[in-house]
Structure 1
Amino acid sequence: MHIRYLLALALLPQLVLADESETTPAPGAQCLVLPPVPIPEPSADERPLDLQQIKIVSDSSAAKMGDKASFQGDVTFSQGGRHIAADSAVLDQANERLDANGNLVFQDNMFTVTADSLSAEMRSNSAQLKGAQYWLHGQQIHGEAENLEITQDNNLHLSNTNFTTCPPGDSSWLLEAETIKIDSSEEWGELWDAKLKIGDVPVFYLPYMTIPVSEKRKSGFLFPYFSTSTTNGVEVATPYYWNIAPEYDLTFTPHYMSARGLFLKSEFRYLAGEAQQGQLNVEYLSNDDLVPNRADRYLYHWEHQGAIADNWRVLANFTDVSDNNYFNDLPSDVLRATDNQLSRIGEIAYFEDNWDMSARVQDIKVLGEEESPYQVMPQIGFNYRAPGFWQGLDFNLMGEASNFRHKEDQYATASRLHFEPSVSLPIHGPAGSLTSELKLLQTNYWQDTKNYTGTQPLDSSVSRTLPQVRIHGQINFERFTDYFDANYRQTLEPQFQYLYVGYEDQSNIGIYDTALLQEDYYGLFRDRRFSGLDRIADANQMTLGLTTRLFDDHNLERFKFSLGQIYYFEDSKVGITDPSRPNEIFKQENTSNSVLAAELNTQLYSDWFLSGAIQYDTKNRNNKKSEVTLDFRPGVNKLLQLSYRYVPDLVNSNTNESVNVSQTGLRTAWPINDNWYIVGNWYYDLNEKRSVETYTGFQYESCCWAVRLSYHYRIKTNYVDNLDPTFNDRELFESGFYLNFVIKGLGGSGPLGVSDMLNDGLFNYRKPLYLKN
């Protein structure tokens, strides 16, 4: 016989350990550590009063009003989301005490505990469970305790206890402690007399430590980092995380390098209100043993971005380093060894539906370059858009006022004012599109040349007015067809562009922010040959292009090929001084057409993918640039990639010599089994007949721990050393071993993944464009 009691008593406190929505799931379903019984959820239609009532169900019971009530056989107590199941229980109503024994399970929405017995003091809102096993819901943490106490302030105290994130029966690691105290509000635990076991072998002892039981931040040491390399020697880094406040934190990393000394790094992050954030990095190495005069080396970096109200946006970015080779020699947290430009930008912008304006200052420091770019101090931009303002015509106005300054006196300084009104008539439909556009390019310069020492004369005042006409059209054809016994929808998309830009002699204008653009397929349809505004090339030309695609039955693109070329009716007469070759002037050659640009992306068969691009000079029969990549991707984290790239006439920034780059590469990522992965990269320079980069990484990852051992051999991008220009005793290649180790649940989460191993090198992994698995 089942007997139900509805009592308006509070049985046990609700212990809050973690916000389940904030936890990190296990990497796979096989890693989930689940409590032994399901967690009943209160029904959605229960009224608040129902959540305060206690429901008791048992096979039999005996009760005396105001005294004791005993329950026998499949006893269950429930109150809202809290539940107790036991073989027998006694409720002492006079002393407000509950005792339960036999197959005891206590659950709420945060954790589950099984125990030999339970004693609960309802007056003090506390409870003790003997011989307990516990599970934290939504996480992998579980363990045992000789005694588990739920205190009156909703905290958890465990004696002679342990915990792990490994599945039951897996003893990869276990943390034992004399006492664990878990603060339900802070969501962190304190451990006394803690001992870490790996494979049942004690490896580490701490008299006191703190651990997370959720993703909530807390101050403490993070996992150390170990490596050894031919350049820096043995490296050990021990980051310390300081949770200063909810809106501030700081990570301080002493990084010892046996060949150089103690490298100190710090990263301060902050939130400014609800919509702004930023960070400040400071790095310092005193008396570097491997550079002349044991010089001090440093970096400081600040970045900030966010919104002010609904319409305002702010952006700031500033980085500086002590010397050109800082990123080549030291493991910075800010930039990589391949980055040689330091941006210093400050910008504020205002946005409305049809217009926006911005103000910015900009300075770029180029490492290893003798000549530095101009500073923009400041630049005011304005854009206005009026789509369909009259008879289907669109009107746009772009305006810009810029002031250019240089750190060195021998360069000219200038102010530039530019207006660019345009009227266009766009016609779009499923069968194609036709856009006709008319622009007027008005630019005024005021140049200060009193300290200017260049050989090309500059005018103090210049007014340049250029008309531009652009007509771009595209037609879309499609048909259903089949190739290799598969059905496809094939498109044929021919397009053309006629471009006319008037001519003015612009050799009397300095070069402040302008450079030559690449001529890839999409670049053929630009209306400019140069970036910036200091040179606007005259044009009278027609661009013809063709794209064809194949879509499968699921409308996924399986093939794409594009081919295009520009045909010149007149030669361009506007040139630009190449900053790396100050004695040479670029001028469009007397040729009837541009390079022939082609791009290909296709799924060859099943899991094989091919992508490539080429720029071919049809007049001189020269390959101007090409690259091809072949991918085999049969599944998640499975990759075999072959690649080749060729770039002629690439200028060496140190020697100003022109070199041809011809490199081939092999990249692979493959799971050996469910836990082991291998990643390898190898790139070879065909001209120099030498390897430029080799990377091999082995990684083991289970539910509760992960380890990675990697080897890296790479060419270094050494620059002329501004610490001592005569110092040239730098290694051309660097090699080293690196070790990462993580125990999940002790403050470490997997940095380890196949994707970051693929990107750990000079050449980042890229899938073929536009194609999906």
Structure 2
Amino acid sequence: MQIRYFLALCLLPHTVFAQAPAPEAEQLPLCVVEPPVSRSFNDREKLSGIQDTDIVIISDNSSAAFDDKAHFSGDVSFSQGSRHIAADQAILDQKKQQLSANGNLIFKDDQFTITAENLQAQMSSNSATLEGAEYWFHGQQAHGDAKKLQITSENNLILSGTNFTTCPPGDESWLLEADMIKIDSEEEWGEIWNAKLRIADVPVMYIPYMTIPVSDKRKTGFLFPSFSTSTTNGVQLSTPYYWNIAPEYDLTFTPDVMSSRGLFVKTEFRYLAGEQQNGQLNVEYLGNDRKLFNNPERYLFHWSHQGAIDENWRVRANYTDVSDNNYFNDLNSDVNRSTDNQLSRIGEASYFEQNWDFNMRVQDIKVLGEDERPYQVMPQLNFNYRKINFWNAIDFRFNSELTNFQHQDNQYTTATRLHMVPSLTLPIQGPAGSLTSEIKLLQTQYWQAPDEKDTQLAESVSRTIPQVRLHGQINFERPTTFFDSEFKQTLEPQFQYLYVGYEDQSDIGIYDTAQLQEDYFGLFRDRRFSGLDRIADANQLTLGFTTRFLDGNNLEKFKFSLGQTLYFEDSKVLLENHYLQESESTSVLAAELDAHLYKDWFISGSMQHDTENNKNKKNEVTLDFRPSKDKLLQFSYRYVPDLLNTNTNDRVNISQAGIRTSWPISDDLYFVGNWYYDLNESRRIETYTGFQYESCCWAVRLSYHYRIKTNYDDDLSESIDSREEFEKGVYLNFVIKGLGGSGPLGVDDMLNEGLFNYRKPLYLRN
């Protein structure tokens, strides 16, 4: 059981609440409070030839003495540049360049609008003092009132005896009262002295000094801390600190104290490298984990970088390393989720021209929970050339790859592979269909350094395999009627003949190759393996079709695809490498379905059926009810037989059903729920229930989470049995908007909580 909620720091001599930059500005148009406007503000817009330095005075009545005082009454308007003052009465002292105004007084400029009892302004210095003031920031929720408000010549605000809130007028869900607030209009931050925070008109906190944002602009300071208790981590207190180092650099440092484990420190550094490159560096460290045997140290290091050097060069880098296999399962990392079991390390530089490109890459993948490590790519060079209409409408392509494979364990075979593929393609396309003819020559050369155990591998292997592919598609359409509605139906049959020559490849090691899935779209691939260590011979014909129904607005309401491959010969490569247990004359029968059933009901599904043995290989289906963007009810089921369990090396059947929903109970209250059940084990594997209330000025979320926990065997614990099989918790999150909080909690992230992320169905083109 875990309780989590956000608190504000209190009783500190100097407290700063700040906010890190959000990916995009918060958009709450219904919450923005519109300040009052006088009709005289529009009168200046009707005048022509007015300069920003000119002082324009408009009123119903006026009287003036030369070089003395001028009196104005009746909807008075004073304007200079972007500043406007409206009042019932005003006096202008021309000698002292002072303006006094009162009665329905409104002051407005580009930043804010102020109403007050009276105003004293110094025209020469552009400064003013208002008493009994109320203020609003334009385009934002922030507003308040003050006994005395001063506008400096730098357009800053100094408020005395004041308060501040982001709630609508009349709503005092929270209110910050202070002796003085100073708001810097350029930095867009406010400094507050001797403040009291009231929630529901009850004082809950005294803060001697703090700063608050009045926009999304970044500023150094403390972020809202978090507090939690749990049986796993004990009492936990997190106090993040944000450092706005420079416009192109920032850093977030988060000490996280866990009574059961110790001090967990997280640091995130972000940077911009010029206008087109950016990156991020994360370091996480737990010195002595008291929860585990021998109190081991646990750490994470992550670096990512991407961008363009110029119009032709692109770069990308990603590196992550952790201390142990269960790091993401036990600790709340900022980098990966608990469901991620692969760490990618990659460095890449690419150069692009119109007809050719060149790529350099190094890659290493760490698989958590598995003893066997994949090969490292150190390095890989790719060169690709293409020429459209090379000769008589024939396209020419040349793809090449030079890869060096290394392994961290010296007892493994190392190799260098050179692969070249020249190809000629004749594409014929038209409204009625298409026909593509393609010829390839796959030439590969291996230089291997076999280990003593791999006696069957050769030191040098040359492999030459021809490939012929013929792919055609025809488009038919007709008008039809269903349920008294007019539709246009299409029928799109397609075929593919594929011939790939055979060559014995048993003397080549496996470095980066695995068998691919056989879904509908995979049936029309020209390969059955990822990687190049095995190229399956083929003499086969794939037949398939797609049919669609489009309504009168040409919107797709139904799509169904069905296909299967006929094998004229058995693949010797698949049989020799035990990817096939016996001969097969056909592939699985693969189908895909996406349909708008009725009104707000949608269905999406896929199937792979073994017609020779009359058994299903894989089934997935989701049924969605989505009457609006914020309403969702989804039923799902998936079945995958004979799946390898990497923890036990056993074969298991996956049969799981689930329900997911996101539904507004009212305008401000949302409910989100997930429930997944294992039909084979007769147990639930995940439950998530959450309620979220969000108003204009605060948000709260209460949620319950129960899920099966992934536990990998590693050296940090005496036994895997010492770890919990399931984890559960109750979470309470609270945000006060406008005091440095991170904005609305959001409902979309609740849908992505847990093991099964929300997968939006294909809504066709509706």
Q: If the length of structure 1 is used for normalisation, what is the TM-score?
A: 0.94
**CA distance change for structure 1 residues 365 and 259 in 2, over 3 Å: closer, same or farther?**
same
Residue 344 of structure 1: aligned partner: 345
Q: Is the 8 A contact 1:393 1:425 kept in 2?
A: yes
Q: Is the 8 A contact 1:292 1:727 kept in 2?
A: no
How far apart are 1:372 and its partner, in Å? 0.4
Which range moved further: 276-285 or 717-726?
A: 717-726
**CA distance change for structure 1 residues 171 and 724 in 2, over 3 Å: closer, same or farther?**
closer
Residue 545 of structure 1: aligned partner: 544
Residue 509 of structure 1: aligned partner: 508
Residue 459 of structure 1: aligned partner: 458
Q: Is the 8 A contact 1:23 1:215 kept in 2?
A: no
**CA distance change for structure 1 residues 692 and 534 in 2, over 3 Å: closer, same or farther?**
same
Residue 711 of structure 1: aligned partner: 704
> What SS does the aligned partner of 1:51 have?
coil
Q: Which has the higher contact order (CA 8 A, sep 6+)?
A: 2
> What SS does the aligned partner of 2:619 have?
strand
Residue 564 of structure 1: aligned partner: 563
Give yes or no for the alignment of 1:410 onto 2:411.
yes
Q: Mind listing any 5+ residue stretches in structure 2 that lack a counterpart? A: 1-21
CA deviation string 1:169-225 (max 9, x = no partner): 111111111111111221111000111111101111110000111110011222233
Which range moved further: 252-261 or 181-190?
A: 252-261
Q: Is the 8 A contact 2:367 2:373 kept in 1?
A: yes
How far apart are 1:453 and its partner, in Å? 2.2
> What SS does the aligned partner of 2:294 have?
helix
Residue 769 of structure 1 is aligned with which of 759, 762, 765?
762
Residue 271 of structure 1: aligned partner: 272
**CA distance change for structure 1 residues 751 and 501 in 2, over 3 Å: closer, same or farther?**
farther
What is the CA–CA distance in structure 2 between the aligned matches of 1:477 and 1:741, rounded to whole Å? 57
What is the CA–CA distance in structure 1 between the aligned matches of 2:729 and 2:288, rounded to whole Å? 23
Residue 137 of structure 1: aligned partner: 138
How far apart are 1:305 and its partner, in Å? 0.5
Residue 443 of structure 1: aligned partner: 444
What is the CA–CA distance in structure 2 between the aligned matches of 1:542 and 1:99, rounded to whole Å? 91
Give yes or no for the alignment of 1:193 onto 2:194.
yes
Q: Is the 8 A contact 2:329 2:709 kept in 1?
A: yes
What is the CA–CA distance in structure 2 between the aligned matches of 1:526 and 1:588, rounded to whole Å? 22
Residue 15 of structure 1: aligned partner: none
Correspondences of 1:62-73 after superposition (within 5 Å): 62-73=63-74
How far apart are 1:490 and its partner, in Å? 1.1
Which range moved further: 504-513 or 381-390?
A: 381-390
CA deviation string 1:17-47 (max 9, x = no partner): xxxx999455352x22100126957999988
AA paired with 1:703?
C
Q: Is the 8 A contact 2:312 2:352 kept in 1?
A: yes
Residue 756 of structure 1: aligned partner: 749
Residue 292 of structure 1: aligned partner: 293
How far apart are 1:482 and its partner, in Å? 1.6
CA deviation string 1:622-669 (max 9, x = no partner): 111111111111122211111110111111111111111111111111
AA paired with 2:159?
L
Residue 212 of structure 2: aligned partner: 211
What is the CA–CA distance in structure 2 between the aligned matches of 1:572 and 1:612, rounded to whole Å? 30
What is the CA–CA distance in structure 2 between the aligned matches of 1:447 and 1:534, rounded to whole Å? 12
Q: Is the 8 A contact 2:44 2:56 kept in 1?
A: no
Identity score, percent: 69
Residue 17 of structure 1: aligned partner: none
> What SS does the aligned partner of 1:585 have?
coil
CA deviation string 1:87-120 (max 9, x = no partner): 1111111111111111110111221100111111
What is the CA–CA distance in structure 1 between the aligned matches of 2:558 and 2:524, rounded to whole Å? 22
How far apart are 1:153 and its partner, in Å? 2.4
Correspondences of 1:369-448 after superposition (within 5 Å): 369-448=370-449
How far apart are 1:772 and its partner, in Å? 5.0
Q: If the length of structure 2 is used for normalisation, what is the TM-score?
A: 0.94
Q: Is the 8 A contact 2:26 2:743 kept in 1?
A: no
What is the CA–CA distance in structure 2 between the aligned matches of 1:361 and 1:44, rounded to whole Å? 63
Residue 36 of structure 2: aligned partner: 36
Q: Is the 8 A contact 1:573 1:587 kept in 2?
A: no
How far apart are 1:353 and its partner, in Å? 1.1
What is the CA–CA distance in structure 2 between the aligned matches of 1:126 and 1:244, rounded to whole Å? 33
Q: Mind listing any 5+ residue stretches in structure 1 that lack a counterpart? A: 1-20, 578-583
Residue 593 of structure 1: aligned partner: 586
Q: Is the 8 A contact 1:231 1:731 kept in 2?
A: no
Q: Is the 8 A contact 2:38 2:86 kept in 1?
A: no
> What SS does the aligned partner of 1:665 have?
strand
How far apart are 1:752 and its partner, in Å? 1.5
Which range moved further: 527-536 or 647-656?
A: 647-656
Residue 4 of structure 1: aligned partner: none
**CA distance change for structure 1 residues 772 and 241 in 2, over 3 Å: closer, same or farther?**
farther
What is the CA–CA distance in structure 1 between the aligned matches of 2:709 and 2:159, rounded to whole Å? 54
Give yes or no for the alignment of 1:360 onto 2:361.
yes
Q: Is the 8 A contact 1:664 1:684 kept in 2?
A: yes
What is the CA–CA distance in structure 2 between the aligned matches of 1:590 and 1:188, rounded to whole Å? 73
Residue 303 of structure 1: aligned partner: 304
What is the CA–CA distance in structure 1 between the aligned matches of 2:581 and 2:503, rounded to whole Å? 15
Give yes or no for the alignment of 1:555 onto 2:548.
no
CA deviation string 1:468-523 (max 9, x = no partner): 00010111111121211222111111000000000000010000110000000000
**CA distance change for structure 1 residues 653 and 516 in 2, over 3 Å: closer, same or farther?**
same
AA paired with 1:448?
A
Residue 744 of structure 1 is aligned with which of 720, 726, 737?
737
> What SS does the aligned partner of 1:309 have?
coil
What is the CA–CA distance in structure 2 between the aligned matches of 1:316 and 1:466, rounded to whole Å? 34
What is the CA–CA distance in structure 2 between the aligned matches of 1:285 and 1:367, rounded to whole Å? 19
AA paired with 2:274?
G
Q: Is the 8 A contact 2:711 2:720 kept in 1?
A: no
What is the CA–CA distance in structure 2 between the aligned matches of 1:539 and 1:623, rounded to whole Å? 24
How far apart are 1:335 and its partner, in Å? 0.4
What is the CA–CA distance in structure 2 between the aligned matches of 1:538 and 1:751, rounded to whole Å? 56
Residue 666 of structure 1: aligned partner: 659
What is the CA–CA distance in structure 2 between the aligned matches of 1:61 and 1:38, rounded to whole Å? 19
Q: Is the 8 A contact 1:626 1:646 kept in 2?
A: yes
Residue 150 of structure 2: aligned partner: 149
What is the CA–CA distance in structure 1 between the aligned matches of 2:342 and 2:572, rounded to whole Å? 32
Residue 627 of structure 1 is aligned with which of 608, 620, 624?
620
